[in-house]
Structure 1
Amino acid sequence: MSTVKEAVDVAVPLRAAYDQWTQFEEFPQFMEGVEEVTQLDDRHNHWTTRIGGVRREFDTEIVDQLVDDRITWRSVGGDTRQSGSVRFERLDDLRTRVELTMDVEPAGLAEKGADALGIIDRRVKGDMRRFKEYMEREAGDTAGWRGRIRPGDPGPMA
């Protein structure tokens, strides 16, 4: 299992950064290797990725979400094993720190090789830089989901 951590300071207000991160279906616009994300309900997303020529599909479940503070998830079912958390910290009225921590367990030979070479770490760090650029370029108001999910709450698919 590899852990990747990266933080970026984004020149947008906290609410804008948080709201954009809740727009999971827009992730392919700034995440390399993410082909598609389909939001199934408030807690679950279906991902299609291509990393090192290997295409994977998997589902994630949000296990904790607190508006303007954090979103924590884990993969459910399938071969892909990952979990993580993204936190949002107000620096001032116009700047927000976005900090991502991810635990990834590579599946398959190609992904294990990519991990050993540091490719997964570099990709996640690049995704965070692209998120910063995307947010600062777009700089518009995004209507995000502002609900609360607590650990242990049964979801609609429970």
Structure 2
Amino acid sequence: MSMVQEQIDVDVPLTTAYNQWTQFEDFPRFMEGVEQVTQLDDRHNHWTTKVAGVTREFDTEIVDQLPDQKIAWRTTGGEVQQMGVVTFERLDDQHTTVRLAIDFEPDGIAERAADAMGMVDRRVKGDLRRFKSFIEDHGVEGGGWRGRITPGG
């Protein structure tokens, strides 16, 4: 497994940043290579990605979600093996740190080479910069789900 960890400060309140991140179907608007995310229920999403001309589909399950603090997930099917967590830290009334950590298993020679060259780190960093622009330009979240999901629950 490989790990990527990145963070960014966004100029919006904590609740705004958190609420927007729960809008998984908006991810293609700021995540490079994400073609579509379909939310199946409170815990499950179906993803379609296209990276370097290769389309992949997989499912994720939210395994821990605590409003205004964190969302943790893992893949449950398809060609992608990963798990991760995004956390939110209030800096003050109008600023939030978003931290993203992803463990993933590169599949094949091309993905292992891309990982070794730091391309995955750069992509995640770019996704966080685009999230920052997206949420700051809008100023408000496009919705939010504030339910609690507990591990094993």
TM-score by length of 2: 0.96
Q: CA deviation at 1:82?
A: 0.5
2:38 matched residue in structure 1: 38
Cα pair 2:13 2:95 within 8 Å, conserved: yes
**How many Å separate the matches in 1 of 2:22 and 2:120?**
22
CA distance in 2, matches of 1:118, 1:108: 16
Aligned partners of 1:90 and 1:142: how far apart in 2? 20
Question: Is 1:119 matched with 2:119?
Answer: yes
Q: Which runs of 5+ in 2 are unaligned?
A: none
Task: Please tell me whether the aligned partners of residues 9 and 96 of structure 1 are also in contact (alpha carbons under 8 angstroms).
Answer: yes
1:147 maps to amino acid: G
CA contact (8 A) 2:135 2:141 kept: no
* Equivalent position of 1:147 in the other structure: 147
* Alpha-carbon distance, 1:141 to partner: 3.9
Question: In the TM superposition, what whole-angstrom CA distance separates every residue of 1:70-126 from its partner, at most 9, and x where no partner exists?
Answer: 000000122210000000001000001100000111112322222122111110111
Matches within 5 A, 1:71-82: 71-82=71-82
Q: Name the CA distance, whole Å, in 1 between partners of 2:151 and 2:83.
A: 14
Q: Deviations over 1:10-42 (max 9, x none)?
A: 000011000000000000000000000000000
Paired residues of 1:52 and 1:111 also in contact (CA < 8 A): no
Divergent runs of 4+, >6 A:
none
- Across the two proteins, how many residue pairs are aligned to each other? 153
- C-alpha distance after superposition, 1:45-91 (max 9, x if no partner): 00001112211000000000000000000001222100000000010
Match of 2:132 in 1: 132
Q: Which amino acid aligns with 1:54?
A: V
Q: State the match for 2:63 in structure 1.
A: 63
Identity in percent:
65
Q: Structure 2: how far apart are the matches of 1:141 and 1:57?
A: 27
Output the CA distance in 2 between the equivalents of 1:138 and 1:53. Answer: 31
Corresponding position of 1:5: 5
Query: Which secondary structure does the structure 2 equivalent of 1:31 belong to?
Result: coil
Kept in 2, the 8 Å contact 1:51–1:111? The answer is: no
